[in-house]
A and B are shown apart, each in its own frame.
Chain A
Amino acid sequence: MFKVIDSAVPIACWACSVGHNDSTLFCPHCSKIQPPPGGDYFSVFGLEPKLELDLPALEREFHRLSRKLHPDRFARALENEKQWSLADTALLNDAYRTLKNPLSRTEYLLKLVGVEIGEEHAGKNRANNGKDPSRVPADLLEEVFELNMQLEEMRMARKMGEEDPALEESLTEAKRKFDGLLEAVDENLRAEWKTWDQGSEAVRQAAQKKMAALLDRRRYLSNLVRDVTEALGA
């Protein structure tokens, strides 16, 4: 899955024939653009897989590489250079988009190291999200049950055009609570990043497990918050 680009890895520059390693976007010898390298998203920015990132530095590097790689710079170049500029820039953009967001970065890293997580894509199969009882975090079971009843009630009330201030109050309270839980999850995640980044292999394994569970919980919570927000018609 994470060999995002499927082209063959060249061992020599197409333009000057000098050999180079396959993680380079430009030939170190003649500076010509190269086909997309086979490495992961971190390597696009010359980074080791790490969860704590210097975001301003990441953005600067994104801009620096965009200036060199973007198809606008190759509008009148050779056909193969145009193609590689397109593929390289898509890789750069995909990598930047994934890494700049803390959640997608965590998901990406977990997949990179082979940890199975709940869903391949946020937003995919949304209809089933939060509805699958087997995935309800155990400590929330009771509250989620109660909340779902209230959500249903709220939707009915809205449909009928009725106001129910008490129900609204109760849902707003629930949203506050789940927002708080989300924040707690995020804090836990940040702690695990640190652990993973600095830890030994064994420590990493444990952190990965925790992060996968935290991501599941987070996805579940954020779907709940979304549903409540929708029901409240904010």
Chain B
Amino acid sequence: MAEGRVVGIDLGTTNSLVAYMQGDAPVVIPGVDGSNLVPSVVALDPIPAGGGRPTVTVGNSARKALIETPERVIYSVKRLMGRGLEEVQKELKLFPFHLAGDVEAGEVPRIQLGELRFTPPEISAYVLRQLKRNAERFFGAPVTQAVITVPAYFNDAQRQATKDAGRMAGLEVLRLVNEPTAAALAYGLDRANVGTIAVFDLGGGTFDISILKLRDGIFEVQSTNGDTHLGGDDIDNLLLAIALDEIHAEHGVDLRKHPGAVQAVRKAAIDAKIKLSAERIAHFDIELPNGDRYQREIPREVFEQLIEPVLERTAGPCKQALADAGLTPEQIDEVVLVGGSTRIPAVRQLVDDLFHLAARGKRPRIELNPDEVVALGAAVQADILAGASKTTEEMLLLDVTPLSLGIEALGGTVARIIQRNSTIPASATEHFTTGVDGQTNVAIHVVQGERELASDCRSLARFDLKGIPPMSAGLPRIEVKFLIDADGILKVSAREQRSGQAAKIEVKPTYGLTDEQVESMILESFDHAEEDFAKRLLIEARTEAETILAAVERAPASPAWKQLTGEERATIAAARDRLSAVKLGEDLAAIRNATLALDQATRRFAELMMEAAVSTALRGKTMNTAGEDLGEEVTAPHPMAAAEFK
């Protein structure tokens, strides 16, 4: 088989995208619904009547299921990637989904979804598979190789988990690229490539700052810093907390006990936040279960005061990145803004202050859509790796490792062996010996981070060097080579130098799946890769058609149906009949077009249904709907964020 295209994928907390290089410009590949963004939401359909494994849906359709069957939907799984049990437990307090009951310490945590359990990489694999299918549908040919982006500040375990997810989805991950670096590639394509740029990337859940030097097509990262828990979610949480407190104080209604209602208020908070980027004032107007209305004005000044402490948290990483690069703000020629949260005027002001832009007659770069720029850059990197294009043949990305690598020394201190901001691939060689006569094992604990004590750093793995020939204490000389590859992932090899034999290494990753586990989790779709491709596309198109037809079948039972005009209902009926007529035919394009037409005809209905679901959730208290207490700390990200806004 000739080598196919390499696609670029932005696997985001809230939304994911797939892009490719069309001639000499990167473009995003839309999904079957015409949208460029695929919400990173995965839902488990109800078990089919005849039994068997339920099917999994991804994206907008999964998001709809959130209203009807929230216990079968999972979102924001990126926050759980590569994390240990304790961290996941802490994080899950903020989500409406739960850990599986039988998870043991030391295992990769699994999430209960309906009657099944999934690890975070498996959930991400479903999102990736959807993107892969979107690309295959677009090209009419299989796609097996991809570049996937990760936050620059992702650690080793998070990177490995992302790579595992790719493999499970049937994708060979040719490279993991840091998100801010990818953005720089997208911006660097059409310009004279000289200068020093900073990429300020504030997304839904993570913040990255990277400083790069561009020269003759070489993008050399000088330093990177960030915070993997800082983003638009934090701003939503602030607004949400205020609204919930005020509702409680003024109307005597404690919505915190009702996750559905909290999600609805959160949606209002997000809408207000988005509105305040363009306007001076936004309003809350929410109907409460007791019939009261919670109404409040939020002037932009109040909003800006409120979020200042959140935004301030980006300053420290920026200053550290400048210091690590040995640069002053004046030496930064351009600042590129990435991530939806950089649409907030106060964020732009902060960037201006940090890098003294206005004073130098400069403005931040915002020409490319901040939601798409990372995927576009991933497509550029994919093109570089494919190695067959004139546009990118002179381009090369030299990235760095965001965190120092160290080994635990006596007394629990950290001996750093590779410093942060070292260009990758990077390596270090260390020597170890034994402390007891005849000792045949040496244990090594590898950590990542900048703190002095190993217990304050991130544990990466414990290595057991085995099969050391028995000798007097201190005599063996074991050379261990640590190598961080171009994906930012650690590889280790060892050799006993006196005997010349390779010491056997048993790597126990602190947070991660073994090779065998990953192998067993490869999505079944992979098995069908060799099957007739056209046939698969046809089957998929028919399944999609069936799904939407079934939804339309149920529609008249919904109260939202009555809100439609007679004309709208007639349009839906016509589109439904058209799809029913073509769905069993062999004409793939006809089925897809008819599906798309029906989807568009029902769009307003879907919106009405969402609204109805929101007010139902708000009435939840009086209806005494069973809901679980989210606890005081209500900071779960919301999956219903508007997918796209200008």
The residues of A with any CB-CB pair to B shorter than 8 Å are 1, 4, 6, 63, 66-67, 70-73, 75-76, 86-87, 89-91, 93-94, 96-97, 121, 123-127
Contacts and interface: CB of A to CB of B under 8 A. Distances in A.
Interface string B385-427: 1110000000011100000000001010101110100111111
B163 interface: no
Contact of A86 (B174, B479, B486): B486
A70 B387 contact: no
A71 B384 CA distance: 11
A72 B3 contact: no
Contacts of B328: none
Given A125-B415, A127-B452, A67 B427 contact: no
Contact of B397 (A72, A86, A90, A123): A72
Interface residues of B, number: 39
A68 to B, nearest CB: 10
Q: Is the interface of A mostly helix, strand, loop or mixed?
A: helix
Contact of B427 (A76, A91, A125): A91
B218 interface: yes
19 contacts: A1-B429, A63-B216, A66-B398, A71-B486, A72-B396, A73-B396, A76-B385, A76-B386, A86-B425, A86-B485, A90-B426, A90-B427, A90-B483, A93-B426, A94-B427, A121-B415, A123-B419, A127-B413, A127-B452
Interface of B: 3, 6, 174-175, 215-216, 218, 220, 381, 384-387, 396-398, 409, 411, 413, 415-417, 419, 422-429, 431, 452, 479, 481, 483, 485-486, 495
Nearest to A89: B425
B515 to A, nearest CB: 17
- Which of B3, B397, B422, B427 is packed against the most chain A CB atoms within 10 Å? B427
A124 B426 contact: no
Contacts of A96: 423
Contacts of A91: 427
Nearest to A124: B415
Nearest to B216: A63
Contact of B416 (A4, A72, A89, A124): A124
Nearest to B487: A71
Given A66-B218, A72-B396, A124-B409, 10 more contacts: A1-B431, A4-B427, A63-B218, A70-B486, A75-B6, A76-B3, A86-B483, A90-B426, A97-B423, A123-B416
B384 A72 contact: yes
Instruction: Identify the 4 closest CB pairs spanning chains A and B, nearest first.
Output: A75-B385, A90-B425, A90-B427, A71-B486
Contacts of B425: 71, 86, 89-90, 93
A71 B174 CA distance: 10
Contacts of B174: 75-76
A70 B495 contact: no
Contacts of A125: 409, 413, 415
Given A70-B486, A72-B486, A97 B426 contact: yes
A121 B416 contact: yes
Given A66-B218, A72-B397, A97 B422 contact: yes
Nearest to B495: A6
B387 A75 contact: yes
B485 A71 contact: yes
Contact of A126 (B429, B452, B479, B481): B452
A1 B431 CA distance: 9
- Which of A4, A75, A86, A91 is packed against the most chain B CB atoms within 10 Å? A75
Given A6-B495, A124-B416, A125-B409, A67 B423 contact: no
Contacts of A94: 426-428
Nearest to A96: B423
A75 B386 contact: yes
Contacts of A90: 425-427, 483
B470 to A, nearest CB: 23
Contacts of A89: 425, 486
B500 to A, nearest CB: 10
